[in-house]
Amino acid sequence: MKLDRMKELIEILNKASKAYYIDNEEIMSNFEYDKLYDELEGLEAENGIIFQNSPTQIVGFETISVLEKVRHDSRMLSLDKTKEISKLKSFLGENEGLLSWKLDGLTIVLKYENGNLSKAITRGNGEIGEDVTHNAKVFKNIPLKINFKENLILRGEAVISYSEFERINENIEENEKYKNPRNLCSGTVRQLNSEIVAKRNVCFFAFSLVSAGTKDFQNKKQNELEFLKELGFDVVEYKIVNAENIENIVYEFEAKIETNDFGSDGLVLTYDSISYSDSLGSTSKFPRDSIAFKWADEVRETKLIDIIWNTSRTGLINPIALFEPVELEGTTVNRASLHNLSILEALEIGIGDTLEVYKANMIIPQILENQTRSNNLKIPDNCPVCGNKTEIVKQKDTKVLLCSNPNCKAQQLSFLGHFTSRDAMNIEGLSEATLEKFIENNFISNYLDIFNINKFENEIQNLEGFGKRSYEKLIKAIEKSKNVDLPNFIYSLGISQVGLSNAKLLCSHFKYDIDKIVDAEKDELKSIEGYGEVISECIYNYFHQKENLELFYDALKILNINKPQEMENKLENLVFVITGDVSKFKNRKELQETIEKLGGKVTSSVTSKTNYLINNDINSNSSKNKKANELKIPIISEDEFISKFMNAEEHE
């Protein structure tokens, strides 16, 4: 409980510091701040544990010139693998074991000397890793100081959550986007500049203890993990299993895949007995006391029909494989992205080839293998949309295909599709197909033309699929879109690196003053929390191009920019978890946004910090309900949430 209180104090104090130093707001008095600070300092001294994000610590960012190679004290072996539950049962025999997530990140070894973090090393090739201590010190949840004076060595996984991955990808160009959270985490942890790492919220989950001096764990690995929890580490979720219950527990883990915020590529089973594990030794490749269980991906054979070349608004031309439909994980799929030319060439793709396809992590269609490898595909010399020459370039050691024409209609179409999308101008009914027709008929060439589309009333009504009624509906949607929040309008402009969240930060920083946003210098933009040199330069450059500025101010003459409403922070300091289906809101995202607008916070898992679990099925046996009941956290329905925390105006 004292560790929970420490984490709670850190969150409260950091929030107060951010409000005071960055937002120029005071959410608590100096007296209150000092009182809580002293309480935290006292708990740190009492427990001998200090977390890296504690306000009592000033951890400077560090930049190094190269990652130093470090030899591991003991060789780190890979795990033998199976996709059969029956093999897990036979592996256990009459022994008890620990079954845990096999997290999909980067394995890290941590060393502590005299209670202080002294070294963090990547797995590397198992014998030699890289020193990333400067970055581990800014991981989101690693304790810098622990209440244990003997030398301690542990292993764990550094991971970046799906939600953090999406946040980072949202704010970068299409061709710069990271493929998955693991790639992003691997690149992040090996950064030379720890300031970049700090902004990406890397988390660390301990999964095994290597050594802890003379500490006695009564021959149980579960005691080792519980000891690590007591020292302040987040430990990978695990269950005690035997041959009787392991099948059901595997299915319990599987049921959580869809809602997990952290990626996993299977489970790990290890014997609970330390002495028995030690007695088994290892082969030249694998330890004999542990085995990995991989989800049995459903793989289907199919035939490649065609490659579709899709030109994006950045000019990147992406290959998409179109194949004969197959059933995978309960759904029919007939296409999969090939991402870039490097992947295309590695698979030696050709029309008519026999492919093996599957769903990565049971979600995203992927090509596993090309059995035929005819390699007869011709890379297009011309953009499939505008006909201009294409060019093959290297970006981050990856070959990509680009359209050389900045006025390509596909780029124009993609941009206008972005401009009219839900989180941007939200113009209902103006689909990509309709935009394409309008561009082809020269009704629109830039976003401002959309608001003058009534000049072509007769021509539009005579288009195939249109008529008076559909035209009037479109005009009504365009008129409605003119009432827009400033962050949404700025997001709609398609400024490189500026997603909706960054647009909100920009507007908030300048108190929604449009002229100040337009005139902002790079240094001032860089002072915005979460901004760096790249995003600041993108915004500065956009508003210093004459054509962009003219369109921007012309649009402001016809738009009605909504002024931000001052909402009562009635949910301030309250933490919610949402699970199950919703009916009063469009989806769980809308409910989350409502909570956040009212000053509350939404997290993905139920902990002692959670104030309410929102679930319309209050009596369900879901894991979140069970956890809430264990911690005596109220479970409320949507109706109860609305009646307790909202009024009619807020939920119209």
DSSP 3-state of 454: helix
The answer for 5, left when phi > 0, alpha when psi is -120 to 50, beta otherwise, is: alpha
Q: Give a three-class secondary structure readout of 208-274.
A: EEEECCCCCCCCEHHHHHHHHHHCCCCECCEEEECCCCHHHHHHHHHHCCCCCCCCEEEEEEEECEH
Rounded Cα distance, 298 and 247, in Å: 19
Q: Give catalytic residue positions.
A: 102
Ramachandran angles phi, psi of 56, nearest 5°: -75, -10
DSSP 3-state of 612: strand
DSSP 3-state of 638: helix
Among 457, 508, 469, which residue's Cα sits nearest to residue 487? 508
The structure tokens listed for 272 are: 């609970």
Ramachandran angles phi, psi of 305, nearest 5°: -90, -45
122, 192, 431 from 66: Cα distances, Å: 14, 7, 49
Ramachandran angles phi, psi of 606, nearest 5°: -80, 125
DSSP 3-state of 606: coil
Place of tokens 């296409």: 335
86, 303, 552, 638 from 299: Cα distances, Å: 20, 13, 50, 40
Rounded Cα distance, 560 and 485, in Å: 9
Instruction: Write the CB contacts of 159 (distance below 8 Å, at least 6 apart in sequence).
Output: 103, 104, 105, 106, 181, 182, 185, 202, 203, 204, 205, 262, 263
Q: Give a three-class secondary structure readout of 455-510.
A: HHHHHHHCCCCCCHHHHHHHHHHHHHHCEEEHHHHHHHCCCCCCCHHHHHHHHHHC
Instruction: Write the CB contacts of 453 (distance below 8 Å, at least 6 apart in sequence).
Output: 438, 443, 444, 460, 474, 475, 478
Rounded Cα distance, 411 and 313, in Å: 4
Ramachandran angles phi, psi of 484, nearest 5°: -140, 145
Q: Are residues 473 and 480 in contact, defined by beta-carbon separation less than 8 angstroms?
A: no
Strand 128-130 with 575-578, pairing: unpaired
306, 336, 382, 400, 468 from 318: Cα distances, Å: 13, 11, 13, 8, 37
The structure tokens listed for 202 are: 């890397």
Q: What's the number of CA atoms in the CB half-sphere (13 Å) around residue 631?
A: 19
